[in-house]
Structures are given as C-alpha cells and as structure tokens.
Amino acid sequence: MSGGPVVDAVVVGGGPAGSTVAALLRRAGASVSLCDAARFPRHKICGEYVPPAALESFARLGLLERVEAAGPLRHVGMAVISPDGTKVLGRYGGGARGLALRRYDLDGILLDGARRAGVEVLEGTRVTGLSRAADGILSVDLQSGESLRARLVVGADGRNSMVARRLGLRRSEPRHRKWAVMGHFRGVETAGDHGEMIVTPYGYCGINPLPRGLANVCIVVDRADIRAAAPGGARLAAFFARRIAAHPLTRKRMAGASHVSGLRATGPMACRASDSIADGVLLVGDAAGFYDPFTGEGIGMALRGAELAAEVLARALGAGDVTRRALAPYAAARRAAFRDRLRLDRLLQSVLRRPRLADWAARRLDRDRGLADLLAEVAGDTVEARAVLGPGFMARLLLA
C-alpha cells in the first residue's frame, strides 16, 4: 500500500473517540480509514459507566437506540462511600439518565456505526510508525510492512498513544501514578440503580452493576502497591483478592461473588500531552490526556473531544489547510471544554488522599442533598464544573 492512494484522514484507534471522529468526518464527506490492533468486540479496562451527556452524542451519531438497548438507564450514577462509611448519593434530576454497559458492547456499537457511515475499518491492524513526506503527506506504517497515506492523522490510541510518542508530545503525570485492576463478576452485592465508589486505605474500589447480572469491580491503587503483581495470572488475582479482603465493605460486597472474566491491569492511568495538535496531526480521547476515572469522565470526554475535533478537521480539509495553525481552534476548544473538569478531578484526588478530610466532606454532603445532587450533575456532565469550584459551593458546604 506504500505509494498508494491518499485518504483525507487515518484514525489510529477504534475506541469511543476514534470511532466517533471517524464517523463524523466521513459524514462530512472526508475519506477515512480507521486502524486498531484489536479485533472487535473486545474487552477494555474501564469503569463502564456512561454519563448522561454522552447520550446526546449517541443521538447525534444515530446510535442512541442501539446503545440504550445494550444497558439499563439509570437516574443515579455512582455513590461515594468515605473511609468512615458515610454514603453520598446524588441524583441527576431533570430526567437526565446515565447508562451502565460493558465496553465490549459499547465499543462494538460505535465501531459498527463508523463502518456503516462509510469508514474503512481495519481491525487487527497495528500501527507502528508515522512519518511525513516532502509534499506534506503523512505515512502511517503498519506492522504488516504496508503503509497508509493521508492528509491528516488522528491519534485516538489511548494513554500509551504511539502517535503522541512519535511526535514527542507524550508526558507523564508524576503526581498521580495510579494503576487499575478490573474484572467482571457475578453475585456481587450491588444496589440496583447505582454503583459505588468505596474509598479505601489503598485507594478506592468501584463496583458498578452491569446488564445480565454482571458487575464491574475495579480497584485503583498506587503504583508501588502493584509492582510485585504480574500483569495477569495467579499473582494478579491474589493481589486483587487481598485488596478486596482488606476492607470490610468491599469484603462484604464480594462475599458471594464468582469471577467471570479478567482480571486485567493497566497503568499508570494519568497522562498528558504537551499539545494536542501538530501539522496534520490531532490527538483525541485519552491520547490527548487523562487523569483519573473516579468521577467517570473518560467516555464523556472522549465523545465530546471527538465532536470538537471532527468539526475543526472537516473545516481544515475543506480549506485545504491542515497545518498546526488551522487545527489550533481544536486545542483551544478542548482546553475550554475540559479545564474546569480536570481542576475538579485534581481537587477531589487531593481530598481522597486525606481520609479525615474526605469523611468531613462526605458528612456535609450527606446533610445537604442539594450539594450531593449538584456534584452528581457535574459528574454526569449536565452541569458545568465551575458550579462547584466557586466560593458559593464551599460556603454552603461549610454551613451544612
């Protein structure tokens, strides 16, 4: 394929961000190829909760009915249980609903949507390199030895993005080196209409009920804790079991559970990029940066970022200018869309690292349910994060 036809865009990665930007670009008239090393459907480490705002993205893609059929709608997202056992449960209100469903199902639906839109989907196709010819055309090298040629490349290949690394844009997040271990179980004690984020001495444990009697159970730990555990197999299972048994509430929730699939580990979860654009290249989803899954922002940010990217990319292709300058509106829009949310994530992690402060905040949120509901709405992306970052929210919390 080297020296072959030039497509408008090659999207590297077939998760929510990649499938969404590919489908939207194709609808705008661009020729698009999408590559992913995996074959779909496939499992992915994730809390597997979809916030209410994401449903609007699915509707714009024409996929809302298919997504809703795959997972139960919920008016409540995730309750937070502080170290002393205080449970804070916020509700979205206004008819807003979230979803709980496996990435195995969600990603398959989104990728199929891209294929139906006319995207050339290349599964089982690992991208190994990226280079630029003298005429500005980008060459995307494949493990097979072949290559794809494109005017634009979209890096949607996750936290360990090859595209970001090849461009020298990948940066670590040394202040937050958390790892996650996730599996699917049956027989977990769960609430029917919401999941739980249980703050523990080692980090936290998310328990999220899924369709067909499954539950997603994910522990998030410091890098040093997991270093001795193997990436998979018996040592990882033993590590997971010890952490579950170390906390009375997680031990109770998992007392009758049986393991169905997994366990899988990934980390460090937090990452960032020095920039989300370069000449002819743009990063979306986790490839452009990720912090922590505690508030469930991953899928929502991936979808919204893909929509912002598709709008700018379509305009750049139409103008025949795919330089960094032409793509700059995406970087600005992404910063504006996510800046406050990421500030809130960092603030919450600071609170979680201090058990007494976490207990204090949880008790006050429990006394003022309006504040708890507001936090739930922010987590569900139906209210801007700035609503809880101002002095008014803190004053109300202090008086609760």
Stretch 299-326: mean pLDDT, rounded? 96
pLDDT for residue 83 is more than 90? yes
Separation of alpha carbons 290 and 342, rounded Å: 9
Lowest mean pLDDT among 98-107, 207-216, 230-239: 230-239
Q: What is the pLDDT of residues 212-239, one digit of tens each?
A: 899 999 999 988 787 766 556 788 888 9
CB atoms within 10 A of CB 16: 32
| Rg over CA atoms, the chain | 21
Domain residue limits, the chain: 6-74+97-173+271-342, 178-266
pLDDT for residue 47 is more than 70? yes
Which class in CATH covers the domain with range 178-266? Answer: alpha beta
Separation of alpha carbons 269 and 286, rounded Å: 9
- pLDDT of amino acid 187: 96
Residues 6 or more apart whose CB falls under 8 angstroms from that of 196 comprise 78, 79, 80, 81, 87, 190, 206, 207, 208, 253
Lowest mean pLDDT among 54-58, 73-77, 131-135, 388-392: 73-77
Confidence of residue 1 (pLDDT cuts 50, 70, 90): very low
Above pLDDT 70, what percent of the chain?
96
- pLDDT of amino acid 230: 56
Q: What average pLDDT is seen over the chain?
A: 90
Residues 6 or more apart whose CB falls under 8 angstroms from that of 168 comprise 274
Lowest mean pLDDT among 9-13, 34-38, 171-175, 308-312: 171-175
Q: Among 3.30.70.260, 3.30.470.20, 3.20.20.140, 3.50.50.60, what is the CATH number of 6-74+97-173+271-342?
A: 3.50.50.60
- pLDDT of amino acid 229: 65
Beta strands in 170-257 (DSSP E): 170-172, 178-186, 195-200, 203-209, 214-222
Provide the token pair at 178: 């958390």
Q: What is the pLDDT of residues 143-162, one digit of tens each?
A: 999 999 999 999 999 988 99
Judge if 6-74+97-173+271-342 and 178-266 fold alike in CATH terms: no
- pLDDT of amino acid 3: 63
pLDDT for residue 19 is more than 80? yes
pLDDT for residue 124 is more than 80? yes
- pLDDT of amino acid 323: 96
Top-confidence residue, 363 or 261: 363
